[in-house]
Amino acid sequence: DTGVSQNPRHKITKRGQNVTFRCDPISEHNRLYWYRQTLGQGPEFLTYFQNEAQLEKSRLLSDRFSAERPKGSFSTLEIQRTEQGDSAMYLCASNKDSTEAFFGQGTRLTVV
Amino acid sequence: QKEVEQNSGPLSVPEGAIASLNCTYSDRGSQSFFWYRQYSGKSPELIMFIYSNGDKEDGRFTAQLNKASQYVSLLIRDSQPSDSATYLCAVKNYGQNFVFGPGTRLSVLP
């Protein structure tokens, strides 16, 4: 399977715990995006990387959220001190240069 | 004003009919436009993209772009029950970020 891969697919955590998600993009793709989606809404942009550089971060993104792409390949998204409002589907997408983006299966986070 | 707007629906069409999905955007600098389909509980999958004014056809799907009116649409011909899903319009600007609309729920009735 050469598509975008996200792990885990599902995560249930207690409020206040930290969680980390991983995204492996399509191998030749230099751009990687993180989105969050809640029920009935479109994907909401969080941040994006070109290679290892984080080029844009949403103003709406709390400082509890941090993302890395240390070697320009896979990326991690960490949420510290999770809150119930963080419950959502976290989507990763990748593309090469300015082409269309392809999404992974997503990680569904439930904060209890 | 939201950057990308879509009618949330649901839009119901009978099987075999043409479904017309519309999207407007606010940033005149937007360069490229995408339609994604999302089944319930799944991630978005790309249907097609369009960069230039006019129509672009791919099988049963036609994307239409009018930059002067800041309007992009998706037509689905010969709609099938398997087309029932949420259709997301996405717009990319110079910032290289994809901005999504809220999506339109389409229901194709057998």
Q: Which residues in chain B touch residue A91, judged by CB atoms under 8 angstroms apart?
A: 43-44
What is residue B17's DSSP assignment? S
Contact between residue B17 and residue B36 where contact means Cβ atoms under 8 Å apart? no
What is residue A85's DSSP assignment? G
Instruction: For residue range A29-81, list pLDDT tens digits in order.
Output: 999 999 999 999 999 999 999 999 999 899 878 899 999 999 889 999 999 99
pLDDT interval class at B1 (50, 70, 90):
low
Among residues of chain B, what percentage have pLDDT more than 70? 96
Query: What confidence score (pLDDT) does residue A97 get?
Result: 79
Q: Which residues in chain B touch residue A44, judged by CB atoms under 8 angstroms apart?
A: 100
Look at A33 and B44 and tell me if their CB atoms are within 8 Å. Answer: no
Instruction: For residue range A86-104, list pLDDT tens digits in order.
Output: 999 999 999 987 788 999 9
Instruction: Give the mean model confidence (pLDDT) for residues B56-78.
Output: 97
d(CA B67, CA B52): 8
- Closest chain A residue by Cα to residue B46: A102
Residue B96 pLDDT greater than 80, yes or no? no
Q: Which residues in chain B touch residue A104, judged by CB atoms under 8 angstroms apart?
A: 43
Cis peptide leading into residue B10 (ω within 30°): yes
Choose the mutation target among A10, A61, A100, A110 for the interface with B, i.e. most B CBs under 10 Å: A100
Query: What confidence score (pLDDT) does residue A32 get?
Result: 96
Contact between residue A6 and residue A103 where contact means Cβ atoms under 8 Å apart? no
Selection from B3, B7, B1 nearest residue B103 by Cα: B7
What is the rounded end-to-end Cα distance, in angstroms, of chain A? 33
CA A31, chain centre distance (Å): 13
Q: Which residues in chain B touch residue A41, judged by CB atoms under 8 angstroms apart?
A: 102-103
Q: Does A93 touch chain B (CB under 8 A)?
A: yes
Q: Does A67 touch chain B (CB under 8 A)?
A: no
Instruction: For residue range B25-43, list pLDDT tens digits in order.
Output: 998 888 899 999 999 999 9
> Nearest-CA distance from B77 to chain A in Å?
23
Selection from B61, B54, B59, B93 nearest residue B76 by Cα: B61
Instruction: Give the mean model confidence (pLDDT) for residues B7-11.
Output: 90
Contact between residue B81 and residue B15 where contact means Cβ atoms under 8 Å apart? yes
Query: What confidence score (pLDDT) does residue B40 get?
Result: 93
Q: Does B34 touch chain A (CB under 8 A)?
A: yes
* DSSP string for residues in B38-107: E-TTS--EEEEEE-SSEEEEETTEEEEEETTTTEEEEEESS--GGG-EEEEEEEE-TT--EEE---EEEE
Query: What confidence score (pLDDT) does residue A2 get?
Result: 76
